[in-house]
Amino acid sequence: MVTKQFSGSPEDADLRRADSLAREIFSDVANKWALLIIEAMGEHTLRFSELRNEIEGISHKMLTQNLRMLERNGLVDRTVHPTVPPRVEYALTEAGRGLRRTVDSMCDWTHQYLGDIEDSRRRFDT
Amino acid sequence: MVTKQFSGSPEDADLRRADSLAREIFSDVANKWALLIIEAMGEHTLRFSELRNEIEGISHKMLTQNLRMLERNGLVDRTVHPTVPPRVEYALTEAGRGLRRTVDSMCDWTHQYLGDIEDSRRRFDT
DNA sequence: CGGGATCCCAGATGATACTG
DNA sequence: CAGTATCATCTGGGATCCCG
């Protein structure tokens, strides 16, 4: 996924395509807001405004933007209830829940090494 | 980690501090280049120029910048060999290897759902 | 309420040149 | 070779307003 070496053989064309697609997806998904949104959703079904409240510091724009992107990639289901005022609900798809598991482990990791990291920073900043 | 609700009680002060630190670390680490660097290093010890070659599309500046950040957080060890020309090698620390495991699973996830995501995108883009 | 469109600025990033 | 500094550029992202 990270490598750039391919032979010129034609059967590598598929690999190269898959690889660049993987990179594209990775670039979409590996960003702070996207991961925080996925983490915040968990197993719940949440409204736009609920997500906004759950995720500290996210702006209206970043939330919509990232939700669109996640929807496009099939990680999030968007359900519009035709009421007035409108009620829009978001939930993770199966693919989204799969990704959430890896985000969970990243959060676990963060807490596990919190102390070490804090120490390392202090040392570095001198 | 994602929640923003705390009571005003004093014993929550620690929690709030840990929480904001966790968020900070998460923001550092949850970005495309940092994760690609970690993934590229794997179990190897790599020189600056080797990393640059491994990671498609990364600029000199982004690489140094992210390496500094990873070093500061204690995820990467930097070894300077006092030769001429200089030889600088990078390797993951224990904490870094821990994070790499979660990045690995994220890569696995990407490949697992590659097809689904491609389909979802096609549907969405119409 | 959810979300699109617009404006605008700070900060991210690339290109280039210079140093030990 | 690795790293820093500078400059130019461009994009991310916030603020705001309007619409269904």
The model's pLDDT over A63-99, given as tens digits with 9 standing for 90+, comes to 999 999 999 999 999 999 999 999 999 999 999 999 9
Neighbours of A47 (CB within 10 A): 14
User: Which phi and psi (to 5°) does residue A21 adopt?
Assistant: -65, -45
C-alpha angle A19-A66-A30 in degrees, rounded to nearest 5: 40
pLDDT the model gives residue B12:
75
Q: What is the rounded radius of gyration, in angstroms, for the C-alpha atoms of chain A?
A: 19
Nucleotide D3 C1' to residue A42 CA (A): 43
**Is A20 in CB contact (< 8 Å) with chain B?**
no
How would residue B26 be classed by pLDDT, with cut points 50, 70 and 90? very high
**Is B125 in CB contact (< 8 Å) with chain A?**
yes
Which of B26, B102, B114 has its CB closest to that of A21? B114
C-alpha angle B25-B26-B28 in degrees, rounded to nearest 5: 65
> Searching chain B, which residue's CA lies closest to the CA of residue A31?
B31
> Searching chain A, which residue's CA lies closest to the CA of residue B77?
A120
Contacts of B120 in chain A (CB under 8 A): 72-74
> Which residues does residue A79 pair with via DSSP β-bridges, in sequence order?
A89
Q: Are B74 and A120 in contact (CB under 8 A)?
A: yes
Which of B1, B36, B109 has its CB closest to that of A107? B1
Structural domains in chain A, sorted by start: 19-125 (1.10.10.10)
Q: Which residues contact B60 (CB under 8 A, 6 or more apart)?
A: B52
Protein residue with the closest CA to the C1' atom of nucleotide C3: A64
pLDDT the model gives residue B6:
61
A61 touches strand D (CB under 7 A): yes
pLDDT at A12 over 80: no
pLDDT at B1 over 80: no
pLDDT the model gives residue A19:
83
Are B56 and A110 inside 8 Å of each other by CB? no
pTM above 0.85, yes or no: yes
- Please give the average per-residue pLDDT across B93-111, as a whole number: 96
Q: Are B41 and B71 in contact (CB under 8 A)?
A: no
pLDDT the model gives residue B13:
80
pLDDT at B122 over 80: yes
Q: How far is A109 from chain B (nearest CA, A)?
A: 7
C-alpha angle A29-B93-B86 in degrees, rounded to nearest 5: 100
Are B99 and A105 inside 8 Å of each other by CB? no
